[in-house]
Structure 1
Amino acid sequence: MSIAGLDAWLQTPQGRYVMAWEQARIDATVADVFGYNAIQLGLPQLDLLAQNRIPLRQVADASGPVDVICDLRQLPFAAHSIDALVMAHVLEFHDDPHQILREVERVLIPEGEVLITGFNPLSIWGLRRRLPNCPRDFPWNGHYLSVLRLKDWLQLLGFAVDLVDFGCYVPPCEHERWLKRWHFMEATGARWWSFAGGVYLMRAIKRVHAMRLILPSWKQQKAPRKVLSVVSQKDAESYDR
């Protein structure tokens, strides 16, 4: 994910605050995911699969220190070959998020998991980017996706969303002392307005509905019974003639 200003933002107190929450939540979520292949899309500056025990873990992006350099709209992985996939802040900073999700659905195995993090537009962070004096660099230059919209997109592709977690309720302050001063909002925000966290983590599982085979009926239909009519003696004599 080559985004102008991303590297610099990750070194700021604001960036460290957000990434610390996301790293902790992703670590806890991927720890119990098993399989053979796991992929991290974007954000190669962080190892989001560090706590996962899948043997083959790779990072893919369009550039940077990655294992696989590729266009995220055309992933170079076979269909139904990936057990788990993690992408942090990819969809909101890409011009074709729908195609990326379609590729994610293609490469995941049935019952495979995808973890997505994003900035929440229904939060103080989302409100900040709407103010006239808001900077135009990362992270304010993205197209933030609401949880409801992302759920709709995933459900159309056959995913079932089974986890949504919000975090980072502190206002987007630039200085660490203000982040610490507002830290009390983490507990109150999670309790009273949990949907308004600055970022969210969503987990979805690829569902594949089982096919039901309709077999032909092998039972032979019973022949209808013949109705025996009573023949009078007079009719029988006429038949003999």
Structure 2
Amino acid sequence: MAQWLQSPPGRYLLDWEQAQLDRTVTDLFGFHALQLGLPDLAGLRANRMPHRWVASDSLRAPEALPLPVADDALSTLMPMDAGSALHCDFDALPFPNQSLDLVVLPHTLELARDPHDTLREVERVLVPEGRVVIVGFNPASLWGLRQHAGHWRQRLGGQRPLYLPSAGEFIGYRRVRDWLRLLGFEVERGRFGCWAPPLRSEAGLARFAWMEQAGRRGWPVLGAVYMVEAVKRVRGMRLVGLARRQKVAKRAAAPAVVANRGTPPAWRQGWTNADETHTQEND
């Protein structure tokens, strides 16, 4: 993936993703943010959280990437020097439960050993109302179709290299949304980009730059890459068992005003007493 990003289509894709991430994370507030994978993309550079990490599942560290010192409250983390990255398995993150406010996944699910476990780990470490931003290749695009055709040519004995990186498996946009909903996330927005044809030369991609606006208006869901932003929702609690019965009992024992039908009003009591006195005198 890192080698492909140095090619003309890789730089074209990286420019779009960098611009979209800068616009997305700049207004997300909190204390702790994490980027999982793809250290070539500075997904958190526009974010203003005081503690940010870039995690990688390989020992290759990004060059000249200043990282803040780890927060002491996160006891499972060791302090990191500037220019180093956090190395860990994506399906076993070294963070406590509900400790991160933002997690960015740039092509992480496609390259992960188990994308389901990775997404479950992200849900575990996110605080309630925490956010996750996912970036991935769109298989329902011209780039995805060319990649699929390249796989078929290789199965038939062809030697031409694939257009996109061969590692990983593309995950569709709707499939990612379904996974997020199953884990209790609420998808807030999604967007597509990179509508140029799958060409290898920089001049060819620049020749079809007009397709960016045309694709955004005419066929938005056919972009080569998508971005999904979702929020972790935690539903409200309900009283059950003994606590619920106690609450109902207190509500039933509340004082209420009840009219006493056996005692006549004061004006009738006066008339009754006068009638009894008059009757006694006549007797």
Same fold (TM > 0.5): yes
Give distance in 2, aligned partners of 1:203 and 1:170.
Answer: 24
Q: How far off is 1:17 after superposition? A: 0.2
Residue 49 of structure 2 is aligned with which of 54, 72, 95? 54
Deviation digits for residues 153-196 of structure 1, max 9, x if unmatched? 11000001111010000012110000011111111111110000
Structure 2 length-normalised TM: 0.73
Residue 37 of structure 1 is aligned with which of 32, 49, 55? 32
Residue 28 of structure 1 is aligned with which of 23, 26, 38? 23
Q: What is the identity percentage for the equivalent residue pairs of Structure 1 and Structure 2?
A: 47
Alignment root-mean-square deviation, CA: 1.8
Give distance in 2, aligned partners of 1:51 and 1:161.
Answer: 22
Deviates more, 1:65-74 or 1:19-28: 65-74
Q: Flag the structure with more relative contact order, 1 or 2, with Cα contacts below 8 A and sequence separation at least 6.
A: 1
The code of the aligned residue for 2:6 comes to Q
Residue 113 of structure 1 is aligned with which of 131, 146, 156? 131
Structure 1 unmatched ranges of 5 or more? 1-5, 223-241
**Mapped pair 1:84 → 2:79:** no
1:199 aligns to what? 225
2:71 aligns to what? none
**Mapped pair 1:9 → 2:9:** no
Give distance in 1, aligned partners of 2:148 and 2:49.
Answer: 41
Secondary structure in structure 2 of the residue aligned to 1:129: helix
**Mapped pair 1:96 → 2:102:** no
Secondary structure in structure 2 of the residue aligned to 1:130: helix
Q: How far off is 1:95 after superposition? A: 3.0
Q: How far off is 1:136 after superposition? A: 4.3
Structure 1 length-normalised TM: 0.86
Structure 2 unmatched ranges of 5 or more? 62-83, 256-283
Residue 183 of structure 1 is aligned with which of 209, 222, 226? 209
Going from structure 1 to structure 2, the CA distance change for 1:32 and 1:221 (only over 3 Å counts) comes to closer
Going from structure 1 to structure 2, the CA distance change for 1:96 and 1:160 (only over 3 Å counts) comes to same
The code of the aligned residue for 1:192 comes to G
Give distance in 1, aligned partners of 2:87 and 2:164.
Answer: 22
Give distance in 2, aligned partners of 1:22 and 1:58.
Answer: 19
1:71 aligns to what? 89
Structure 1 ranges of 4+ moved more than 4 A: none
Give distance in 1, aligned partners of 2:30 and 2:238.
Answer: 27
The code of the aligned residue for 1:28 comes to R
Deviates more, 1:127-136 or 1:6-15: 127-136
Larger Rg belongs to: 2
